[in-house]
Amino acid sequence: MTTPTVADTWTARVADRIAHLVPPGQALPDRQPAYVASWIYVFGVTTLAGLAVVLVTGSVLAVGGATWWHVSSFGHFVNSAHLWSTEVFMGSMVIHLWGKFWMAAWRGNRALTWITGVLAFVASIGAAFTGYLSQTNLDSQWISTQAKDGLNSIGVGAYFNVLNPGQMLMWHIVLMPFFIGVITVMHIVLVRRHGVVPPIDAEEGVR
Amino acid sequence: MKTRTPDSHDFPTRRYDLVKEFVIALAVISLLTVGLAAVFSSPDEKAITMAGWAKAAPNDVVATAASELAGTSGSATYGPPYNHNGPGQMMLGVPMQRWGGVRVPVDSAGLVLDPLRGATSDQAARTALTAWSAATPAQQTAWATAYGDALAKVPDGDPAKVAAGDYGPVPALTSAFLALASSGGLEGTLTASGTFYGIDATRSLLLLSDGAYLEDNARASNLGGDQWGMMNEFGNYPGQPWMWLYTFWYQVKPFSTSDNADALVWGLMALLTLGLMFLPFLPGLRSIPRWIPVHRLIWRRTVTHVKPVP
């Protein structure tokens, strides 16, 4: 009987895989390429910061429950912070997206980085939308009864019922944040793996 | 000539404190959020209650109840996922709405009759329910349709002004339904759906949207579908501006005049989203940033990489 080497264990393979997700020293480097010198780069970080504030304010709302903010002035304030952090988060992400478009940031084997970014954007729209459906007020009544027609028209409404606030709240506070969290981690790992895309004018011809 | 993107790690570097940048960003965004919340607050228009609807627009409640009984309301003729009474929308001939199936079954007449059966102790209403149940479906439809038509002919749909006719028990049923709605007991019977916990509002929202009151409220706040309402919210708040493109299509032909507008808009948005996602692989579109050199506003200085591209 042969004794398995350390490298043969599942744990060792996963550990090796994680260790090589990004080049050595690039997980959290304290230096960046010299061309990373524009305000546009800030919006990736402000998007992350916005997401953090969205999660924190949403978590405080979760402590009080789905309808707490209707009857508590502090709850209403937290809801306001949740709303405005969402606006800032989405605004930052849109600017980040446009910036990356004009940089053609998918160059140099970065297509998956771009795709995960778009997925995060689409998922964030879904998360915000389910938030509007979970407010238990007139906005929820109107938006849900309007939105049902679009989702029903493509058969999705049979499974994703926007008129059921119980289902929408679960999507809003569990499924969407989980997906956005996972896709955001993937996006950041890919950014660190490939580094910040070099300038278009730095490209060189190849035979 | 083909080009190759050099490795980002082959360029000269400069100090860049990512953690400090994130902490500062977090502090700024937190302060900005708190400031915006303190100054602008957030909208919280109270939900319309059935009692509120009955008080503000009693004739609308009666007309809606008659349409549910007649099978002519929006939900009664909707099709999937609520019933089989409509074909559903098609996307370029593909019946995707029908493919979804009837997975959220809703009997529109039941929106009126179930609460009455479960809640009313009024003898006249019980007699009307018995008469309704004893009639054939064709007779039920004829009574309710005739009453609905009669309501539509009188000013403001006032039931008191309806001409005499063969309406069977329908006026008594709709009157009892209005009384039940006014009492505040309607939401519970519709939302609970036989369970203790009422967290599914499908039936009550369908009933509410079958009436005109909800839409009248929304249109008064410029939230109609043809008023870019999908992306806005009550009051002067930004709403969901990131949904502008989705909402835009509803404002223009052929979508604004199509019976299949929802399916077509969703199909188009799915196509555009896939296009955005796979932009790196789309010849022409992926070259736009090279043709329109906005990137020179970002990368103002020429930076040469250290290692030559092989």
What confidence tens digit (pLDDT) does each residue in A8-54 have? 899 999 999 999 999 988 889 999 999 999 999 999 999 999 999 99
* Rounded CA separation B105/B30 (Å): 45
* B272 Cβ contact list (under 8 Å, min separation 6): B245
* CA A101 vs CA A186, B30, B213, B222, B280: distances in Å: 19, 27, 45, 34, 10
The predicted pLDDT at position A120 comes to 98
Query: Residue A128 pLDDT more than 80?
Result: yes
Q: Are B194 and B200 in contact (CB under 8 A)?
A: no
Average pLDDT over residues B196-221: 92
The residue among B46 and A206 whose pLDDT is bigger is: B46
Report pLDDT for B113.
Answer: 95
- The Cα A151–Cα B80 span in angstroms is 11
pLDDT at B305 over 80: no
Contact A106 B293 (CB under 8 A): no
Task: Answer whether residue B308 shows pLDDT above 60.
Answer: no
**CB spacing of A206 vs B2 below 8 angstroms:** yes
Interface membership of B6 toward A (CB under 8 Å): yes
- Please, what are the domains in chain A? 35-194 (1.20.810.10)
The answer to whether residue B92 scores a pLDDT higher than 70 is yes
What ipTM goes with this model?
A: 0.92
Q: What is the pLDDT of residues A131-160, one digit of tens each?
A: 999 999 999 999 999 999 999 999 999 999
Structure tokens belonging to residue B123: 């003898």
CA distance B203 to B191: 7
Per-residue pLDDT, B128: 94
CB atoms within 10 A of CB A18: 10
B298 in contact with chain A, both atoms CB, cutoff 8 A: yes
The pLDDT tens digits of the residues spanning B5-33 come to 888 888 999 999 999 999 999 999 999 99
Q: State residue B195's pLDDT score.
A: 73
Return the SS3 of B91: strand
More confident residue, B237 or B195: B237
Instruction: Closest CB to B16: pick one of A32, A137, A200.
Output: A32
- Tell whether the model's pLDDT for residue B230 goes beyond 60: yes
Tokens 């002519």, located at residue: B72
pLDDT value for B231: 82
DSSP-based helix, strand, coil % in chain B, nearest 5: 60, 0, 40
Domain chopping of chain B, boundaries: 50-73+108-219, 237-291
- pLDDT given for residue A6 in this prediction: 59
Whether the pLDDT of residue A113 is over 70: the answer is yes
Q: Minimal Cα–Cα distance from A106 to chain B, Å?
A: 6
Q: Which of B59, B101, B107 is nearest to B80 (CA)?
A: B101
Instruction: Decide if B81 and A194 are in contact by the 8 Å CB cutoff.
Output: no
Q: Given this model, what pLDDT does residue B228 score?
A: 78
The per-residue pLDDT for B307 is: 62
Residue A5 has pLDDT above 70, yes or no: no
CB nearest B33 (choices: A84, A104, A204): A84
CA A203, chain centre distance (Å): 30
Taking all residues of chain B, what is their mean pLDDT, rounded to a whole number?
91
A2-6, A61-65, B167-171, B257-261: the lowest-pLDDT one: A2-6
Q: Is the pLDDT of residue A69 over 90?
A: yes
The token pair that represents B42 in the structure block = 């957030």
pLDDT > 70 in chain B, percent: 96
Looking at residue B120, its pLDDT comes to 67
Mention every residue, 6+ apart, whose C-beta is less than 8 A from residue A59.
none
B91 to chain A, any CB pair closer than 8 A? The answer is yes
Residue B224's pLDDT is 83
Which chain A positions have a beta carbon within 8 Å of B80's beta carbon? 152, 155, 158
Assign B192 a pLDDT band (cuts: 50, 70, 90): low
Q: Which residues of B touch A118 (CB under 8 A)?
A: 273, 276-277
Q: Give CA–CA dist B95/A70, Å, rounded.
A: 41
Cβ atoms of residues A189 and A21 within 8 Å: yes
Cβ–Cβ under 8 Å, residues B208 and B214: yes
What residues of chain A lie within 8 A of the CB of B233, using their CB? 132, 139, 143
